[in-house]
Amino acid sequence: MSDQSTPDAVSSPEAAAKGGFSRRRLLGTAGATGLALGAAGGAAGYAAAPNDESGAPAAPLSSVGSDAVMFHGKHQPGITTALQARGHLVAFDLAAGAGRKEAAALLRRWSATAQRLMAGEPAAQDDTDVARDAGPSSLTVTFGFGHSFFARTGLEKQRPVALDPLPDFSSDHLDKARSNGDLWVQIGANDALVAFHALRAVQKDAGSAARVRWQMNGFNRSPGATGRPMTARNLMGQIDGTRNPKPSESDFDRRVFVPAAGEPAWMANGSYAVVRRIRMLLDGWEKLSPTAQEDVIGRKKATGAPLSGGTETTPMDLDKTDADGNLVVPINAHARITRPDQNGGAAMLRRPFSFHDGIDTDGVPDAGLLFVCWQADPVRGFVPVQRKLDRGDALSTFVRHESSGLFAVPGGAATGEYVGQRLLEG
């Protein structure tokens, strides 16, 4: 986990009342991935019949249901898109005997399906009707390649250096069966049925070309659940993500995306995703007093403000001391350790989901964070921060890293292209 925030998009009351959205929301949701669109045209046709059973005009979609994100664009969707209420992460391994040709055909199918579903349309083949009656609900589908993919497809010379395996960390308790993979898919939406519909479609499209290696389910707070836009809270009850880089910052693209002239060429405008399943040891955490929890994080639990004073967005004063000369923000506080200026400027765009996979037989919840972070180079982004956390983060006592993956996520597909085409047909 890290002290960073994902940008949010907010519709106006007038737009919500009309079942549409404001220009502000349109631009805010678009980010660097492309425009966010209302569910007009094909989307509306799938979401609801023109008339209800009585013959009266059907009610328009709510603003949540009508929001759509474009599939085609400079960057893949699901990177700068606002946090979604429901998410699925799934990794695939190519089937025995499948290679570059089969992988290209699979990415072509996946891209075509993602484009349709993100527009609120049914899958082209054997649609399950799970998402019938719903609009696109900000659905995004994002595709990436793991380290092993390149040997399986004979493309070792095209494998980026930045995709070298992550180093071992002392906090790792990794399950290899739930780590890595040839291919990775991230699905997010603001409706659980829309998200599951996409997951099922992706799985069916894999056919005989690939099999599921692992799959994880996550969630976030639903849009509109709070009276005003807020940084998300995690399952520890902490505001989580205050210092996330924002697209409006001048160095955002440099930190998050591979430059257009970067290497390898097929990764232009792409990014690298680090994926970690981080279990929160909630029983121990919840035994701490609120003050002790705040000392672990370095921020006020209620407001997210730094312990040195101010509001959530006030810069943290790392040198401030109390009347006894003690640092107000403890030396091992999580927020202190993860600050970019304490890590040589290392920064990453965090876009996580919470998870809860039941309660163990001893009554302990299997819950925590599906940590997903994006950066132009993980060696300069995730790795130095995690190494520093390994050396003395107060939060490490209450979390356990149980699975890990690193994936190269190419730039967005142009109209008429599929994701990864420049790699697979280059």
Give the pLDDT confidence of 205-245 residue by residue, as tens digits.
999 999 999 999 999 999 989 999 899 999 999 999 998 99
Number of domains in the chain: 1
Residue 197 in domain: yes
Residue ranges in 153-289 assigned as alpha helix (H): 192-206, 252-256, 282-286
| SS3 label, residue 13 | helix
Inter-residue contact 401 to 60 (CB < 8 Å): no
For 332, counting Cβ atoms within 10 Å of its Cβ (0-12 exposed, 13-18 middle, 19+ buried), the class is: middle
Residue 6 in domain: no
Residue 139 in domain: yes
Distances (CA, A) of 32 to 48, 202, 318: 30, 24, 33
Comparing 30-44, 82-96, 223-237, 268-282, the range with the smallest average pLDDT is 30-44
The distance of Cα 341 from the centroid of its chain, to the nearest Å, equals 24
Specify the amino acid at residue 262: G
- Confidence at residue 3, expressed as pLDDT on a 0 to 100 scale: 61
Q: Which token pair is 7?
A: 């940008």
Residue 5 in domain: no
133 part of the active site: no
Residue 278 in domain: yes
Model confidence, pTM: 0.87
- Confidence at residue 41, expressed as pLDDT on a 0 to 100 scale: 38
Residue 63 in domain: yes
Catalytic residue among 3, 240, 295, 377: 240
How does pLDDT run across 72-111, given as a tens digit for each residue?
999 999 999 999 999 999 999 999 999 999 999 999 999 9
Residue 209 in domain: yes
Comparing 36-50, 67-81, 280-294, 397-411, the range with the smallest average pLDDT is 36-50
319 closest CA partner among 303, 331, 310: 331
Per-residue pLDDT band at 55 (split at 50, 70, 90): low
Residue 148 in domain: yes
Which structural domain range is residue 250 located in? 13-424
